[in-house]
Amino acid sequence: MDFLKAIKNRYTTKLYDHSKRIDVGKIQKLQEILTLSPSSINSQPWEFVFVSDAKTKEQLSKVSQHNTQKVLDCDTVVVFRSIDNLSTFKNELSERLPEYALGFYNDFAEQHSENDVKTWMDKQVYIALGTFLSACASMEIDATPMEGIEPKAYDAILGNDDYRSILAVAIGYRHEKDVNQLHIKPKSRKKITEVVRSI
């Protein structure tokens, strides 16, 4: 599908049809797409957890603020996590990165607080979010990006404390009664002349 058409057609789904499942092959494709997302110095400071197990989804739903029903009804919740353990990460980087990139990271880490370094990691995770939402749009899979979760409670459920949960995306297929569908609530965006300047 033409990308402009795909991005015009996507919207944040608010109500899922629990009876409609995503093909396993499509889930595998989305997983591969996530591994291909770009990141600064190819740092890839992330973990993506695909949760389709009903019990785990139910646990997550209880710590998902206003997103509870979406987490329950969607096919899969994808949790986007950012590296939390910087020393594990540094060791991993030193095995994987070319010297110039490693030098860049070491200088950056030396000159910035741990908090700033983690903020930089989180930005890379948000690039993966953009890649993922675009991929869902091109595959006609409905999605809900969700910052409205309790990250620490997610961490306790998901395990692997080298990473911190940042946000989650519910994916599946819309319910016919979803009031956020574009024919009921048309897309609202600033005008192109307000946000784009050509020089």
Ligand X SMILES: Cc1cc2nc3c(=O)[nH]c(=O)nc-3n(C[C@H](O)[C@H](O)[C@H](O)COP(=O)(O)O)c2cc1C
Burial 80-94 (b: 16+ CB within 10 A, else e): bbbbbebeebeebbe
Taking the complex as a whole, how short is the minimal distance between the CB of residue 63 and ligand X, in angstroms?
13
User: 83 or 137: whose CB is closer to ligand X?
Assistant: 137
User: 114 or 191: whose CB is closer to ligand X?
Assistant: 191
Query: How many angstroms separate the CA atoms of 105 and 117, rounded?
Result: 9
78 close to 116: Cβ distance less than 8 angstroms: no
DSSP H/E element including 69: helix 68-73
Taking the complex as a whole, how short is the minimal distance between the CB of residue 21 and ligand X, in angstroms?
21
Binding site for ligand X (CB under 6 A): 11-12, 14, 67, 144-148, 167, 187
DSSP H/E element including 168: strand 163-172
Q: Give me the helices (H) in 98-195, please.
A: 99-111, 114-138, 151-158, 192-195
User: 11 or 16: whose CB is closer to ligand X?
Assistant: 11
User: 117 or 167: whose CB is closer to ligand X?
Assistant: 167
User: 112 or 185: whose CB is closer to ligand X?
Assistant: 185
Q: Tell me which residue of 91, 79, 85 sits closest to 168, measured CA to CA.
A: 79
151 close to 158: Cβ distance less than 8 angstroms: no
User: 92 or 155: whose CB is closer to ligand X?
Assistant: 155
Taking the complex as a whole, how short is the minimal distance between the CB of residue 187 and ligand X, in angstroms?
5
Spatial neighbors of 78 by CB under 8 A, at least 6 apart, are 30, 48, 49, 50, 51, 132, 168, 169, 171
